[in-house]
Amino acid sequence: MDIAVCVKLTYDVQEIRADGNGAPVFQNVPIKISEFDKYAIEAGVKLKEGSGGVVRMFSVANPNAKEAIKEALARGCDEGYIIAYDYPPQDPAMVSKLLASAIRIHAPQSQIIFAGEASSDMSSSVTGAMVAAWLGIPFIGYASKVQVQGDSVMIERDGDNVIEGFVCKPPVVIGTSDRLNKPRTPTLTQILSAGRKPVKILSPDNVDPEAAPLSKMEKVDVFRMERKRVLIDGSDPVSSAEKLISELRREGVL
């Protein structure tokens, strides 16, 4: 079975800091696999282990993010296709069109395409569905269970109070949730062998010259929480208690 996995390589959001004006500083922030996409990779690799085939990774990313690309291959992807982009793109319409076009060109035989339910930076939760729309095939999101039975794919997803079941014929795009599996940790052998797996760098113009952003991000601020540093003189317990109660009421706590 041929499987494609859409992977977003994004800034490590835990390492982003703000400058004096509250704007994010991306310099020297490492690039990593979006956490949700690790479930997508694991889903593809598990299907390959059970049914055979090839898992191809597709990403719109900076080719210089070699460690993140290598990690995706170490997790079990057999090939990598990187659509070169200077920084993690934020427009899902453009990204999905490039991914769909790259899959159509380089992996047209893909029967199942996995995508994470969201990215750890934008959380738009629409890229997988858009890929399916561009390819003209079904999409099922938030999958918590995926099984191949004969020539059909059985998919379950957990709702708030119900488990929904789907049966469809490939090809299909499946959005993976964190309930689907537990991503493996690559072994040293897998990490070393990842460097020998093929990675193709693709030009966006060659993949789909008509793909263009439909939205523009005007501003990004880093959320910062600061203490109010209200000091209460504790020399007089009664007065201190009254002051504390007054402050709590003013904040709406009491």
Q: Is residue 96 located within the same domain as residue 59? A: yes
Contact (CB, 8 A) for 89 and 95? yes
Closest CA to 59 of 121, 125, 10: 10
Looking at the structure, do residues 157 and 236 belong to the same domain, yes or no? Answer: no
132 and 74 in one domain? yes
Evaluate whether residue 28 is within a structural domain.
Answer: yes
Instruction: Indicate whether 52 and 119 sit together in one domain.
Output: yes
Exposure letters 44-64 (e unless 16+ CB within 10 A, then b):
bbbbbeeeebbbbbbbbbbbe
Kindly state whether residue 195 falls inside one of the protein's structural domains: yes
Find all residues with CB under 8 Å of 151, minimum gap 6, and list them.
169, 170
Count Cβ neighbours within 10 Å for each residue of 224-247 and write b for 16 or more, e otherwise.
Answer: eeeeeeeeeeeeeeeeeeebeeee
Question: What pLDDT score does 221 carry?
Answer: 62
| Same domain flag for 174 and 59 | yes
Q: Could you tell me if residue 219 is inside a domain?
A: no
Q: How far apart are the first and last CA of the chain?
A: 60
pLDDT of residue 103: 97
Does 92 map to a domain?
yes
pLDDT at 218: 66
Residues 62 and 183 in one domain: yes
CATH code, domain carrying 73: 3.40.50.620
Query: 110 in a domain, yes or no?
Result: yes
Q: Is residue 196 assigned to a domain?
A: yes
| Predicted TM-score (pTM) of this structure | 0.80
pLDDT of residue 214: 75
| pLDDT value for 222 | 62
Q: CB of 97 within 8 A of CB of 134?
A: yes
**246 and 154, same domain (yes or no):** no
**Containing structural domain, residue 95:** 2-207
Residues 27 and 96 reside in one and the same domain: yes
Instruction: Indicate whether 195 and 233 sit together in one domain.
Output: no
Q: Can you give the pLDDT at residue 58?
A: 96
* Domain co-membership, 77 together with 21: yes
Give me the residue label for tokens 């159509």. 104
Of 151, 153, 156, the closest CA to residue 141 belongs to: 156
Report the number of distinct structural domains present in the chain. Answer: 2
Determine the Cα–Cα distance for residues 109 and 71; give it in Å rounded to an integer: 25
Residue 116 in any domain: the answer is yes
pLDDT values of the chain reduced to their tens digit, one per residue, 254 residues: 899 999 998 877 777 677 777 676 767 777 889 888 999 999 999 999 988 899 999 999 988 888 899 999 999 999 999 999 877 677 888 999 999 999 999 999 999 999 998 776 666 778 999 999 999 999 999 999 999 988 899 999 887 788 899 999 999 999 998 889 999 999 999 999 998 999 999 999 999 988 877 777 666 666 666 677 778 887 888 888 888 888 888 888 77
pLDDT of residue 137: 96
Is 232 inside a domain boundary?
yes
Q: What is the pLDDT of residue 100?
A: 96
* Residues 120, 153 within the same domain: yes
Q: Specify whether 169 is located in the same domain as 248.
A: no
